[in-house]
């Protein structure tokens, strides 16, 4: 832990890369692993344009359930620690695969959402996008402008990532000298390329996760543990190094 904190405190352009594990202690279930979202459902059943085409009500029932979970969730000490690292001037940005918006809610300012955001919906007819403040009411929700079917503005399997977010993530990863990889299985592409781009460009990679991940092979440091326990301790160490 001290070694990681020293390297992090000495870094010039550190970036965090997060997945569902960073929101686990906020009560938002992860996708894979025990009790994960995918256990009860199958990704191909729900997070795909074909599933939405076939049964928009089923897909919206799943997303409304997740919106309700997330609406009731607070950022946990892991999210708060990353926001603190940004305030300390150590962390330049958080690149996240999560759609729950909890990094921003925790105070992180530069957040790159690779897979969209569950609090935005997009009209499948006129293409307009709208923010939603709380879980949708009637299912499926209709566009207030043209009456078309609204969908969650998230990236489904088989869909391209938002170009702006992808470009920004690539440029951050290319110029990072340290990447803190937290709570991701590293199973989903092209998002999982981002830490590999950082590694190729000489960044030190620290992985925080209680289990094994598909990114462990590029980890210079592996800290096994829960993000809400590890990250606050890491930030306290970094603060000690900075004084």
Select from Zn ion, ligand BV8, none the partner in contact with residue 125, using the beta carbon and a kind-dependent cut-off of 5 to 8 Å: Zn ion
- Judged by CB under 6 A, the stretch of 50-58, 80-88, 123-131, 184-192 that binds ligand BV8 is 184-192
- ω into residue 90 within 30 of 0, thus cis? no
Beta pairing class for 129-131 and 204-208: unpaired
Taking CB under 6 A as the criterion, which residues in 49-68 touch ligand BV8?
Answer: none
Beta-strand runs (E) in the chain: 14-18, 91-96, 111-113, 116-123, 129-131, 150-154, 178-182, 204-208, 221-223
Within 10 angstroms of residue 167's Cβ, the number of other Cβ atoms is: 12
In terms of CB distance, is 216 or 220 closer to ligand BV8? Answer: 216
How big is the chain by its Cα radius of gyration, in Å?
18
Catalytic annotation on 193? no
157 binds ligand BV8 (CB under 6 A): yes
Residues within the interface to Zn ion (CB under 5 A)? 123, 125-126, 143, 145-146, 148
Within 10 angstroms of residue 72's Cβ, the number of other Cβ atoms is: 11
In terms of CB distance, is 37 or 143 closer to Zn ion? Answer: 143
158 binds ligand BV8 (CB under 6 A): yes
In terms of CB distance, is 10 or 58 closer to ligand BV8? Answer: 58
The token pair that represents 152 in the structure block: 């969650």
- Judged by CB under 6 A, the stretch of 5-13, 20-28, 137-145, 164-172 that binds ligand BV8 is 20-28
188 binds ligand BV8 (CB under 6 A): yes
Select from Zn ion, ligand BV8, none the partner in contact with residue 108, using the beta carbon and a kind-dependent cut-off of 5 to 8 Å: none
Q: How many CA atoms lie within 13 A of 106 on its CB side?
A: 27
Q: How many CA atoms lie within 13 A of 107 on its CB side?
A: 14
The token pair that represents 186 in the structure block: 């590293």
Residue selected from 184, 198, 205, 207 as contacting ligand BV8 according to rule CB under 6 A:
184
> What's the farthest any 2 CA atoms get from each other in the chain?
58
Residue selected from 135, 148, 210, 232 as contacting ligand BV8 according to rule CB under 6 A:
210
Provide the annotated active-site residues: 115
Residue numbers of the site for ligand BV8 (CB under 6 A)? 19-21, 24-25, 30-33, 36, 47, 97-99, 115, 154-160, 183-185, 187-189, 209-211, 213, 226-227
């Amino acid at each position: 832990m001290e070694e990681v904190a020293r390297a992090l405190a000495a870094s010039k352009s550190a970036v965090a890369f997060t997945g569902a594990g960073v929101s686990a202690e906020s009560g938002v279930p992860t996708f894979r692993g025990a009790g994960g979202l995918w256990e009860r459902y199958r990704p191909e059943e729900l997070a795909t344009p074909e599933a939405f085409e076939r049964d928009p009500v089923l897909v919206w029932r799943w997303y409304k359930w997740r919106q309700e979970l997330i609406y009731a969730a607070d950022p946990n000490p892991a999210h708060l620690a990353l926001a603190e690292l940004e305030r300390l001037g150590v962390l330049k940005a958080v690149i996240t695969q999560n759609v729950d918006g909890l990094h921003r809610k925790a105070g992180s300012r530069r957040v790159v959402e690779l897979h969209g955001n569950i609090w935005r919906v997009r009209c499948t007819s006129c293409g307009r996008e709208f923010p939603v403040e709380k879980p949708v009411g009637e299912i499926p929700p209709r566009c207030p402008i043209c009456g078309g079917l609204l969908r969650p503005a998230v990236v489904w399997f088989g869909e391209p990532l938002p170009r702006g977010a992808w470009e920004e993530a690539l440029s951050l990863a290319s110029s990072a000298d340290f990447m803190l990889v937290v709570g991701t299985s590293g199973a989903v592409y092209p998002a999982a390329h981002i830490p590999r781009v950082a590694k190729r460009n000489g960044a030190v990679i620290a992985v925080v996760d209680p289990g094994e991940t598909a990114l462990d092979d590029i980890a210079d440091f592996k800290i096994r543990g829960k993000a809400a326990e590890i990250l606050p301790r890491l930030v306290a160490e970094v603060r000690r190094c900075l004084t």
